[in-house]
C-alpha cells in the first residue's frame, strides 16, 4: 500500500503521523483533509481503488471535488470555520474512470490541542454491491406483488406462528374481509372473521390448527361459507434456505364451477323436455337397486311404458302438441306412482318406472294405475283425444340384475301386449323355479356342511399403504362340498341370506376367526381380524352378547376384532342400530362400514355412529386412476373420512397405479391381488412372519402378479 502525506500550510498542532498510521490500518477507503485548505493530506490504498486514482493524485485534491454534493460542500465551509461536527449519510461519488459508486460516507473531526479541529477523517464504505442487491430485491418484491395481485386466487402468506406476512386483494374479496382489518395488521380479527364465515367454526378451527402444527404438511380442503360459496383451500409450506419458514394458502372460489358441473350433470342425467331422469340415470338407479337386492334380499320391478300410436299425435297435431302431450303423460304417471318409485323417460314415446321392493302383484297394481292415468281424456288447444299405453314388466332378481337384462325382458313383455291389442300390461313371471329347486338343495347341503365342519376360512391380508406393513386380515369363508365340489361364496351366500341360515353361518365365521386371531396373539403374531356381519345377523337380539362371549372364550383382546357392517344397517331402524353399535364400541370392538358408497346410508347417521373405518368398494377402485367419476367418488370418500376422523381401506386393489392413487389421496390401507388373494391359514402365517421379520418396511409387493380367481369375489356373510 502507498501512503503519502504533505505538510499542512501551518505547523500541525496534532500528531498527524499517528493518524496516518490509523488511516493506513482501515480496510475501507479513508483520507484526511486539512480543514484550512480543504485539501487531502493523507489517503490509503483503499481510497485509491475506490476513487480510481493513485495516492499521489489524491494528496492535495480538494475534498469537495472527491464527493461533490451540496451536503459535502456546505460541510467543508463549516469545517473551514471550525464549526463542523460529524457527517454520516449515504451518498454517491464518481470515480476517475467514470464509475458511479454508492457509499456510506462518514466525516469526523480530529480534535487538536487548542480544541479546534484542523484535520478531518473521511471514511467511505463502498455500498454499490449492497445497493445493487437492494434494487434487485425491490424489483423481485415488486414482481411478486404484481404476480400476487394478478392471480385469480386469494393468497395469504403466514409465518410459522400463523402471523400474516402478505396477502393480495383477491384474498380480501374472496372472504369479504374489510380492508381496515388487514391494513391495521389485526391478525386475530382477520382469523376470527374467517372462522365466523363458515357454518361449523369448531371443525374449521381444528383443521386449521392441525395444518399449522404440521409444519411440512401440504393439504387441500373444501370450505363452504355461510353465503353458500364453496372455496378450495390449498396450503403448502414456505421454504427458505432448506427450512420451512411459514405457510402459503391459496383460496379459489369454486362456486360457479361447481354450479356449472352440477348443471352439466343434471343435463346428462335428465330428459330436457319432461325434466324426468333419462335412460342413463335409470340404468344407474337399477344398478344401485340391484346391489341392494344382492346384499339385503327382496326385489323390485321395472315397468316399460310405451305409448300406443303416439306417431299419429305428431303427424296430425304437430310436434309442439306432441311435446305437450309427453309432458302431460309424465305428470299423470308421477301423480299415481309411490314416493319411493322412480320414473324416467327412456325414449321418444317410452317411459320406465322402477317399482321398489315389488313382487308381481305390486308391479301389476302399479301398471293398472298407470294405464288408467294415461287413458284419461286429453284436451289441448280445443282438441280432444284419447291416448293409451302398453306396459311390460320384469322382476329383479327373477329376470336378472342388470338394467339391460331387465329392459330386454320388459320390452319383450311390451311387444306381447301390443301383439295382443295394446292398452294393457303384462308382468313376466319369475323364471327362477328351477333355480329355487337348486337353492333348496344348496340350502340343505350348507346345513350339512356346517354340521360336518366342511367350511374353512381364508384370510386376505390388509396392508398399510405408507409402510407396506401387514396390519390386518379379512376372514373369508370357503366351501368345498364332496358332491358339489368347490362352491363359490357368490353362489351360496345369497341362498343363506334368503333362507336365514346366514345367522348360523355368520356365528361360525365369527367364532372361527376370533379363535384363530387369539391363537396368533398367544404366539406373538398380533394381527387384527375383520369379520363381515350381515344385516340379519346384526339384528339378532343377542348379537352384542354373542360377540362379547366369543371374545371372552377365545381370550382375544376386543380391539383385535373388527366387524364390517353393511350400510343398510345404518338406515334400518337407526336408533336401535345406534344402541347396538355403541354397545359394541363399549366392549372395545372396532367397527367399519363395508362397500361404502354403494348403498343408501345417511351421512347424518354416519356422523352419529361410532365407526372407526370405511371400506371403499372395489367397484370404485376398479376404474382408478383413469375413470374421472370413480376418482372423484374415491377422493370425496377420503376427504369425508378425514373430516370425520375415520380410517379408510380400499378393497380390490390390483395395480400399482391404483395403489399410488390411493396413497397420494390419503387412503390408509388396502387389500387386493396386488399384494395377495385370500390365503389359507399356513400361507397367511408365512406372509405375516415375513412381514414381521422385515419390520414391515418397504412397499407391499409380490414377486409375480398372482392370478386372479375367476368370478366376482364375494365376502363372507354379506357377500
Q: What is the pLDDT of residues 2-22, one digit of tens each?
A: 333 434 434 344 467 777 777
For residue 100, what is its C-alpha cell?
A: 458511479
Comparing CA positions, the residue from 591, 653, 577 lying closest to residue 616 is 653
Please give the pLDDT value at position 143: 66
Pairing of strands 455-464, 350-356: unpaired
Buried b (16+ CB within 10 A) or exposed e, 158-174: beeeeebeebbebbbeb
Is the separation of the CB atoms in 211 and 247 below 8 Å?
yes
Tell me the CATH architecture of domain 436-693.
Answer: Alpha-Beta Barrel (3.20)
- The mean per-residue pLDDT over the stretch 75-84 comes to 83
Q: How far apart are CA 538 and CA 583, in angstroms?
A: 12
Q: Which residue spans of the chain are classified as CATH 3.30.70.270?
A: 272-431
Comparing CA positions, the residue from 639, 567, 576 lying closest to residue 602 is 567
- The mean per-residue pLDDT over the stretch 232-240 comes to 89
Pick the CATH number of 4-131 from 3.30.450.20, 2.40.70.10, 3.30.70.2860, 3.40.50.1820: 3.30.450.20
- List residues bridging with 29 in a β-sheet: 124
pLDDT at 692 over 90: no
pLDDT-based confidence at residue 441 (cuts at 50, 70, 90): confident
Is the separation of the CB atoms in 516 and 531 below 8 Å?
no
In three-state secondary structure terms, 238 is: strand
Please give the pLDDT value at position 214: 87
In the block, which residue shows the cell 301423480?
335
Please give the pLDDT value at position 1: 34
pLDDT at 435 over 90: no
Q: How many residues does the chain have?
A: 719
Q: Which residue has the higher pLDDT, 406 or 429?
A: 406
Please give the pLDDT value at position 450: 94
pLDDT at 157 over 60: yes
Cis omega (within 30 of 0) for bond into 625 = yes
- The mean per-residue pLDDT over the stretch 241-245 comes to 82
Is domain 151-257 annotated with CATH 3.30.450.20?
yes
pLDDT-based confidence at residue 449 (cuts at 50, 70, 90): very high
In the block, which residue shows the cell 498510521?
21
Please give the pLDDT value at position 429: 67
* Number of other residues whose CB lies within 10 A of the CB of residue 247: 22
- Which string of DSSP letters, residue by residue, matches 555-597? T--GGGEEEEE-THHHHSSHHHHHHHHHHHHHHT-EEEEEEET
Please give the pLDDT value at position 703: 33
Please give the pLDDT value at position 714: 33
pLDDT at 302 over 50: yes
**Mean per-residue pLDDT of the chain:** 84
Greatest alpha-carbon pair distance for the chain in Å reads 140
In three-state secondary structure terms, 273 is: coil
Query: Does the CA dihedral 23-26-27-29 come out positive or negative?
Result: negative
Please give the pLDDT value at position 4: 39
Q: Which helix (H) or strand (E) holds 487?
A: strand 485-487
Q: Which residue spans of the chain are classified as CATH 3.20.20.450?
A: 436-693
φ, ψ of residue 679 in degrees (nearest 5): -115, 150
Give the count of alpha carbons within 13 A of 187, CB side only: 11
Q: How far apart are CA 80 and CA 35, in angstroms?
A: 5
Please give the pLDDT value at position 323: 92
In the block, which residue shows the cell 403466514?
158
- Which string of DSSP letters, residue by residue, matches 288-349? HHHHHHHHH---EEEEEEEETTHHHHHHHH-HHHHHHHHHHHHHHHHHHS-TT-EEEE-SSS
φ, ψ of residue 424 in degrees (nearest 5): -150, -175
Q: How far apart are CA 358 and CA 361, in angstroms?
A: 8
pLDDT-based confidence at residue 112 (cuts at 50, 70, 90): low
Q: Which residue has the higher pLDDT, 597 or 578?
A: 578
The structure's pTM equals: 0.43
Q: What is the pLDDT of residues 466-497, one digit of tens each?
A: 999 999 999 999 999 998 899 999 889 988 98
Q: How far apart are CA 221 and CA 218, in angstroms?
A: 10
φ, ψ of residue 688 in degrees (nearest 5): -65, -45
What topology is assigned to 272-431 in CATH? Alpha-Beta Plaits (3.30.70)
pLDDT at 49 over 90: no
Is the separation of the CB atoms in 702 and 675 below 8 Å?
yes
DSSP state of 271: -
φ, ψ of residue 373 in degrees (nearest 5): -65, -45
Comparing CA positions, the residue from 718, 678, 715, 681 lying closest to residue 515 is 681
Please give the pLDDT value at position 355: 92
Q: What is the pLDDT of residues 168-218, one digit of tens each?
A: 888 888 898 887 888 778 888 899 999 999 999 999 999 999 998 888 888
pLDDT-based confidence at residue 139 (cuts at 50, 70, 90): confident
Percent of the chain with pLDDT over 70: 89
CA-based angle 397:450:440, to the nearest 5? 35
Please give the pLDDT value at position 149: 65
Q: How far apart are CA 643 and CA 154, in angstroms?
A: 23
- The mean per-residue pLDDT over the stretch 338-361 comes to 87
Instruction: Specify the range with the lowest mean pLDDT, choosing from 115-119, 424-428, 452-456, 676-680.
Output: 115-119
Alpha helices in 197-249 (DSSP H): 201-213
* Number of other residues whose CB lies within 10 A of the CB of residue 217: 14
CB-based burial label for 566 (10 Å; 0-12, 13-18, 19+): buried
Angle formed by the axes of helices 543-554 and 574-587, nearest 10°:
20
Q: How far apart are CA 324 and CA 335, in angstroms?
A: 17
Q: Which residue has the higher pLDDT, 574 or 610?
A: 610
pLDDT-based confidence at residue 304 (cuts at 50, 70, 90): very high
Comparing CA positions, the residue from 474, 650, 629, 503 lying closest to residue 564 is 474
Q: What is the pLDDT of residues 207-222, one digit of tens each?
A: 999 998 888 888 899 9
Q: Which residue spans of the chain are classified as CATH 3.30.450.20?
A: 4-131, 151-257
CB-based burial label for 504 (10 Å; 0-12, 13-18, 19+): middle
Amino acid at each position: 500500500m502507498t501512503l503519502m502525506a504533505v505538510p499542512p500550510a501551518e505547523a500541525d498542532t496534532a500528531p498527524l503521523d499517528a493518524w496516518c498510521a490509523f488511516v493506513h490500518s482501515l480496510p475501507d477507503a479513508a483520507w484526511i483533509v486539512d480543514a484550512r485548505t480543504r485539501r487531502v493530506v493523507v489517503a490509503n490504498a483503499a481510497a485509491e481503488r475506490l476513487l480510481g486514482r493513485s495516492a499521489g493524485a489524491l494528496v492535495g485534491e480538494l475534498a469537495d471535488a472527491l464527493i461533490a454534493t451540496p451536503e459535502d460542500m456546505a460541510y467543508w465551509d463549516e469545517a473551514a470555520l471550525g464549526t463542523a461536527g460529524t457527517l454520516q449519510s449515504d451518498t454517491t461519488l464518481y470515480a476517475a474512470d467514470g464509475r458511479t459508486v454508492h457509499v456510506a460516507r462518514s466525516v469526523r473531526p480530529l480534535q487538536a490541542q487548542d480544541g479546534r479541529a484542523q484535520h478531518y477523517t473521511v471514511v467511505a464504505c463502498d455500498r454499490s454491491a449492497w445497493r445493487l442487491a437492494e434494487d434487485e430485491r425491490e424489483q423481485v418484491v415488486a414482481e411478486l406483488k404484481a404476480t400476487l395481485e394478478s392471480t385469480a386466487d386469494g393468497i395469504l402468506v403466514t409465518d410459522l406462528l400463523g402471523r400474516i406476512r402478505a396477502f393480495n386483494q383477491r384474498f380480501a374479496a374472496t372472504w369479504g374481509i374489510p380492508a381496515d382489518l388487514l391494513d391495521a395488521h389485526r391478525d386475530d380479527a382477520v382469523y376470527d372473521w374467517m372462522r365466523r364465515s363458515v357454518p361449523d367454526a369448531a371443525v374449521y378451527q381444528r383443521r386449521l390448527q392441525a395444518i399449522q402444527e404440521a409444519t411440512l404438511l401440504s393439504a387441500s380442503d373444501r370450505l363452504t361459507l355461510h353465503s353458500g360459496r364453496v372455496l378450495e383451500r390449498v396450503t403448502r409450506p414456505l421454504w427458505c434456505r432448506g427450512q420451512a419458514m411459514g405457510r402459503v394458502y391459496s383460496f379459489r372460489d369454486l362456486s360457479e364451477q361447481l354450479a356449472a358441473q352440477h348443471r352439466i350433470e343434471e343435463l346428462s342425467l335428465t330428459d330436457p323436455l319432461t325434466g324426468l331422469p333419462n335412460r342413463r340415470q335409470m340404468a344407474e338407479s337399477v344398478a344401485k337397486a340391484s346391489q341392494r337386492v344382492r346384499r339385503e334380499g327382496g326385489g323390485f320391478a321395472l315397468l316399460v311404458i310405451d305409448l300406443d300410436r303416439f306417431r299419429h299425435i305428431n303427424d296430425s297435431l304437430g310436434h309442439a302438441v306432441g311435446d305437450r302431450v309427453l309432458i302431460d303423460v309424465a305428470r299423470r304417471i308421477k301423480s299415481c306412482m309411490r314416493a319411493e318409485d322412480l320414473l324416467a323417460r327412456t325414449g321418444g314415446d317410452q317411459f320406465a318406472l322402477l317399482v321398489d321392493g315389488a313382487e308381481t302383484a305390486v308391479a301389476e297394481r302399479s301398471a293398472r294405475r298407470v294405464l288408467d292415468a294415461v287413458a284419461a281424456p286429453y284436451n289441448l288447444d280445443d282438441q280432444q283425444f284419447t291416448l293409451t299405453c302398453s306396459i311390460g314388466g320384469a322382476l329383479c332378481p327373477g329376470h336378472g340384475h342388470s338394467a339391460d337384462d331387465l329392459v330386454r325382458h320388459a320390452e319383450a313383455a311390451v311387444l306381447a301386449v301390443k301383439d295382443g291389442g295394446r292398452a294393457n300390461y303384462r308382468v313376466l313371471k319369475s323364471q327362477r323355479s328351477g333355480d329355487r329347486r337348486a337353492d333348496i338343495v344348496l340350502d340343505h347341503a350348507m346345513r350339512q356342511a356346517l354340521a360336518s365342519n366342511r367350511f374353512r376360512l381364508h384370510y386376505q391380508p390388509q396392508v398399510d399403504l405408507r409402510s407396506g406393513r401387514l396390519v390386518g386380515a379379512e376372514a373369508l369363508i370357503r366351501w368345498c362340498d364332496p358332491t358339489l365340489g368347490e362352491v363359490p361364496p357368490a353362489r351360496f351366500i345369497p341362498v343363506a341370506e334368503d333362507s336365514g341360515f346366514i345367522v348360523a353361518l355368520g356365528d361360525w365365521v365369527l367364532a372361527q376367526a376370533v379363535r384363530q386371531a387369539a391363537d396368533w396373539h398367544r404366539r406373538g403374531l398380533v394381527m387384527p381380524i375383520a369379520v363381515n356381519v350381515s344385516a340379519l345377523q346384526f339384528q339378532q337380539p343377542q348379537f352384542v352378547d354373542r360377540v362379547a362371549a366369543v371374545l371372552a372364550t377365545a381370550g382375544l383382546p376386543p380391539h383385535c376384532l373388527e366387524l364390517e357392517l353393511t350400510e343398510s344397517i345404518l338406515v334400518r331402524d337407526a336408533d336401535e342400530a345406534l344402541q347396538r353399535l355403541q354397545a359394541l364400541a363399549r366392549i372395545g370392538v372396532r367397527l367399519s362400514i363395508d362397500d361404502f358408497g354403494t348403498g343408501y346410508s345417511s351421512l347424518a347417521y354416519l356422523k352419529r355412529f361410532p365407526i372407526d373405518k370405511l371400506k371403499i368398494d372395489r367397484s370404485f377402485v376398479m376404474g382408478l386412476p383413469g375413470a374421472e367419476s370413480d376418482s372423484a367418488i374415491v377422493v370425496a370418500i377420503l376427504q369425508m373420512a378425514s373430516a370425520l376422523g375415520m380410517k379408510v381401506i380400499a378393497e380390490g386393489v390390483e395395480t400399482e397405479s391404483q395403489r399410488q392413487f390411493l396413497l397420494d389421496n390419503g387412503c390408509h390401507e388396502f387389500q387386493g391381488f396386488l399384494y395377495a388373494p385370500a390365503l389359507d391359514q399356513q400361507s397367511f402365517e408365512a406372509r405375516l412372519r415375513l412381514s414381521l421379520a422385515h419390520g414391515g418396511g418397504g412397499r407391499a409387493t409380490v414377486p409375480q402378479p398372482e392370478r386372479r380367481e375367476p368370478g366376482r369375489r364375494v365376502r363372507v356373510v354379506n357377500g
